[in-house]
Amino acid sequence: MKVLISDKMDEAGIDIFRNQAGIDVDVNIGLSPEELREIIGQYDALAIRSSTRVTQELLSAADNLKVIARAGIGLDNVDIEEATKKGVAVMNTPGGNTVTTAEHAIAMMMALTRNIPRGTASMKAGNWDKKLLQGREIFNKTIGVIGFGNIGSIVAGLAKGLKMKVIVYDPNISSDHIEKAGFEYVSLDDLYARSDYVTIHVPKMDSTIDLLDAQAFEKMKKGVMIINCARGGIVNESALYEAIQSGQVAGAALDVFSTEPPGNHPLLELEQVIATPHLGASTKEAQTNVSVAAANQIIAYLLHDTVINAVNVPSVTGEVLRQLKPFLYLAEKMGKMQSQITRGGVKQVDIEYIGKFPDLDLKPITIEGIKGILNQFVRYEVNSVNAISLANEMGIKISESTAREAGNFLNLIRMTVVTDTQTNIVEGTIFGKDDARIVRINKFRLEVIPEGHLGLIHNVDKPGSIGSIGITLGKHKINIARMMVGREEDGDRNIIFLQTDTPVPPDVVEEIANLDLVVSMTTFEL
């Protein structure tokens, strides 16, 4: 089996490959996309960090590729969907650098507060700017932590140890869990209004891009300091520049930028900004950990058909995977659907297996369902290995049960999600050998193929309602690929599921929601 290492990795991981019988490893760093595409076809595995971009074009030439392992957490440089279509397992190494990144955030906060970079530069220039570089204490100051995942929770603990007042915002984790951990749960606006420091620890997703924009800075306490060691793009850099210039923001410590390297960036011209070149995970210990983990993952997969820390396939042996595959697919899609129709912090997930299932451990199916739910919240960290532990850390109670009779179906998976504000039930089944279907959403019975651009519409069960929806979509040249209608049990409402060839834009969603016989419309992707 041939392995290509295309990014710089710690020698400890490379040595594992070199000492493993049955593995031939090539280290070829700094290849252009064209050069990498030319040679990728001869390799069974690819080990990367953040420099190599695994695109659709690269994967189209990867005829023998079986696994990609990222020595680190973030996978925004990998086209995971395309890799999945090609049957390539994609793995990362969560946990190897969480402490390192959390420590860097605290170090950046301290350096910014006490003007350490400016003081160093001043001294080296032969100056003694003691009065000019006066700082402030962090003791008893309030730090607002946005995101209470692996890294954010460590940052909160370190800040508490420094005798700071810690407040936390995370819409995807129950307030009970955060408060049991010893921290105050607040709304985002409350966090903005009270924080002397705001530190960001969320993944970069559609919902978090430009999370800190001009409006957010206006809501903050005057003189706030911003720390971003998460991902570039979560902070709107132009808005941050203006907020610093106006004095609303006293300073910023940035380890990440929207474009890396940032080049001659206006923020880097400001004395109130300190920056590092994406060093959050750059310690000797962390790089050794993730390099060794990536090497072991690849070897286990290539030589033993065993999956470890994969983000697109469950961590089971190959034979079990083949038998459970349709149920794994269904459970993940059900979880993704639940995450997009459910509001509030998830407190409990109940999964029931009803009817006939393979005579195997059903735990991998549960894991895929939980992964589907959490993927919308912690996209770059959750995988088949850590889904359950992440759910436990978030205070989510998980239960499984089985029953023999599935009514009209040979088998049925029922997933119930309970949040602070509501309870939602989704049921799914497998038709034939591997045709996944969603057959119930709360009180509505229907039959949905769980894929593509979907729209969920609640409407009044009267003539003309469906027609008005179709006319509105047609006016905007949005083609309906499939339409499924279900009726509320003992009620006067329908639920309509639309699959469209293209996504329905927000303004069209609003227009449909305002139609006379439409109650609401929600769109999501599966």
* Domain boundaries of the chain, sorted by first residue: 1-93+282-313, 98-275, 314-442, 446-526
What pLDDT is attached to residue 488? 66
For residue 303, the Cα-to-chain-centroid distance in whole angstroms is 30
For the question of residue 231 being annotated catalytic, the response is yes
How many Cβ atoms are within 10 Å of 229's Cβ, its own excluded?
27
Question: Is 260 among the catalytic positions?
Answer: yes
Helix, strand, or coil here: 111?
A: helix
Return the closest-CA partner of residue 96 out of 226, 295, 291. Answer: 291
The CATH architecture that domain 98-275 belongs to is 3-Layer(aba) Sandwich (3.40)
Could you say which of 3.30.1330.100, 3.30.70.260, 3.40.190.10, 3.20.20.70 is the CATH number of the domain covering 446-526? 3.30.70.260
Q: Do domains 1-93+282-313 and 98-275 have the same CATH topology?
A: yes
Q: Which of 330, 343, 325 is nearest to 427 (CA)?
A: 330
Instruction: Exactly one of 278, 379, 437, 440 is catalytic; name it.
Output: 278
Q: How does DSSP assign 470-489, residue by residue?
A: HHHHHHTT--EEEEEEEEBT
Determine the pLDDT at residue 22: 94
Cis upstream peptide for 326 (omega within 30°): no
Report whether 328 contacts 27 (CB < 8 A).
no
The answer to whether 167 and 191 have CB atoms below 8 angstroms apart is yes
CATH 3.10.290.10 fits 314-442, yes or no: no
Beta bridge partners of 326: none
> What does the alpha-carbon distance between residue 115 and residue 274 come to, in Å, rounded to a whole number?
9
CATH entry 3.40.50.720 includes domain 1-93+282-313? yes
Q: Is 305 left (phi over 0), alpha (psi -120 to 50) or beta?
A: left
Question: Is 278 an active-site residue?
Answer: yes
Residues 370/387, Cβ–Cβ less than 8 Å: yes
CB contact at 8 A, 40 and 66: no
| Ordered per-residue pLDDT tens for the chain, 526 residues | 999 999 999 999 999 999 999 999 999 999 999 999 999 999 999 999 989 999 999 999 999 999 999 998 878 899 988 887 777 889 998 777 789 999 999 999 999 999 999 999 999 999 999 988 999 999 999 999 999 988 999 999 999 999 999 999 998 888 888 999 999 999 999 999 999 999 999 988 888 999 999 999 999 999 999 999 999 999 999 999 999 999 999 999 999 999 999 999 999 999 999 999 999 988 888 889 999 999 999 999 999 878 888 888 776 666 777 778 889 899 999 999 998 888 888 899 999 999 888 777 788 899 889 999 988 776 556 766 567 877 887 889 999 998 877 677 888 999 999 998 899 999 999 988 788 999 888 888 888 888 888 888 888 888 888 888 889 998 899 999 888 887 766 667 788 888 898 988 888 989 998 888 888 888 888 7
Task: Give the model's pLDDT for residue 384.
Answer: 67
Name the active-site residue from 35, 38, 137, 260: 260
Exactly one of 104, 201, 231, 414 is catalytic; name it.
Answer: 231
- Secondary structure (3-state) at 255: coil
